Structure 1
Amino acid sequence: MTILITGASRGIGKALMAGYTCRGARALGTHRLPEAGAMLHLDVTDPASHCDLAGRLKETPIDLLICNAGVYPDKGERLDTGYPAAMWAAGFAANVTGVFLTIQALLPNLRASKAGKIAIIASQMASHTRAPGGSYIYRASKAAALNLGRNLATDLRPEGIAVGIYHPGWVQTDMGGQSADITVAQSAAGLMDRFDALSLETTGCFETWDGRAHPY
């Protein structure tokens, strides 16, 4: 089984890499820096980088593509003075366009698997049921990623490719902070269970790391 995880140099992506490696799977990770050890270079905001990655992988079947790379650029921004246009552009380039370009570039590899799956790491902050204010760029971009995943699930179902969208929990990472609810190991273990369960019967699902259906 071959798995490719974007944004695998730290946090949840790194924990997923470790988890799948322990299982004996072939786990490929990407990193946005050109010099990243054994990891593959991918800047999800750069179309040329996607082309380069696809060229390196050639016809390698990918059984599971995990779109984990993302940014949270607007912590602490003020409504009256913050959220500059460039920040909006950068947030959507990573969290939405980057997800789409990754999937688009690696569709031949997912098709070669004959039973490929796509997992998009979103957030409960994408849901219309959670609107406490603030973090407009992150919330809007994750909502767009959720919508993207739902529509991809419709288009890819006839090809046998299932798509799931997931809230990883409030995780003790650089993004989540040390006061978060769960560790990266807990999140990764739960997510791996969710990815195992993903099928054409559940394609388009929006679920939490611990298996609960999340309102859209």
Structure 2
Amino acid sequence: MSILITGANRGIGRALAKEWQSAGEKVIQTARNSAGMETLDVADPSSIKQLAKRLEGRPISTLVCNAGVSLDKFDEMDSGYSPEHWAQSFAVNVTGVFLVVQALLPNLQANTDAGGASKIAIIASQMGSQNSPAGNRFIYRASKAATINLGRNLAVSLKGDGIAVGIYHPGWVATDMGGGSAELTLEEIIPGLRKQIDGLTISETGCFKSWNGQDCVL
């Protein structure tokens, strides 16, 4: 099994990579600029194409779309939420997910052609739920809502290729993005998140689940 993780240089991505590596799995770690990792800027289409070229012909069993940004954490309605933050957030959290999936689809198909079970895991957030609005963080919420929608539609389009798509809410985790006051630690959520991804099958493609297996509200 060959696993590729975007944004593997810190936080959830790095912890997932270590979790799988400790179990003997082969992990391709990607980041914008980290020693020992494949270079990938998900907001740069040329960087995505270059990665796909380097990995041409290499089967990938699990693609984890984890790279993401949260730029409006401290924004105020009267002065924040700049157009630049909207554009950058969607470029990473939404467009970047699609372009990486699109570019590495041949690698996932190569795995299914060889008899393997291919899957895509998209790290989203319950903050993108359409049915539990809480106000503020408009950019992050909107981008994650789009990410969830993208994942659900990818699941429909790729089901015929035998590629399962799962969307996952990791919880509010104490990382650089989540901050020190978060409710959960990486040590608490990573085993459960890995279990959900490992257990994803084509029969539940399009699911939106929490790290502990609970169904999330769409």
TM-score, length basis structure 2? 0.96
| CA distance, structure 1, for counterparts of residue 158 and residue 80 of structure 2 | 38
Alignment pair present for 1:5 and 2:31: no
| CA distance, structure 1, for counterparts of residue 14 and residue 68 of structure 2 | 13
**How many angstroms does 1:117 deviate by?**
0.2
Secondary structure in 2 aligned to 1:90?
A: helix
Describe the superposition over 1:130-152 as per-residue Cα deviations: whole angstroms up to 9, x where unpaired: 21110000000000000000000
Alignment of 1:155-166 (within 5 A): 155-166=157-168
> Post-superposition, which runs of at least 4 consecutive aligned residues in structure 1 deviate over 6 A?
none
Alignment pair present for 1:14 and 2:14: yes
Match of 1:46 in 2: 44
| CA distance, structure 1, for counterparts of residue 125 and residue 155 of structure 2 | 18
Q: Structure 1 counterpart of 2:23, which letter? A: R
**How many angstroms does 1:186 deviate by?**
2.0
Alignment pair present for 1:179 and 2:181: yes
Tell me which of 96, 100, 104 is aligned to 1:102: 100
**How many angstroms does 1:188 deviate by?**
1.6
Q: Structure 1 counterpart of 2:26, which letter? A: R
Secondary structure in 2 aligned to 1:66?
A: strand
| CA distance, structure 1, for counterparts of residue 52 and residue 38 of structure 2 | 11
**How many angstroms does 1:181 deviate by?**
1.5
Contact 1:31 1:42 in 2 (8 A): yes
**How many angstroms does 1:184 deviate by?**
1.1
Query: 5+ unaligned residues in a row in structure 1: which ranges?
Result: none
Alignment of 1:58-137 (within 5 A): 58-114=56-112, 115-137=117-139
Match of 2:32 in 1: 32
Secondary structure in 1 aligned to 2:120?
A: strand
How many percent of aligned residue pairs carry the same amino acid?
A: 55
Match of 1:215 in 2: 217
- TM-align CA RMSD: 0.8
Tell me which of 167, 170, 183 is aligned to 1:168: 170
Q: Structure 2 counterpart of 1:96, which letter? A: V
Contact 1:12 1:187 in 2 (8 A): no
Match of 1:56 in 2: 54
Secondary structure in 2 aligned to 1:37?
A: coil
Match of 2:190 in 1: 188
Query: 5+ unaligned residues in a row in structure 2: which ranges?
Result: none
| CA distance, structure 2, for counterparts of residue 173 and residue 125 of structure 1 | 16
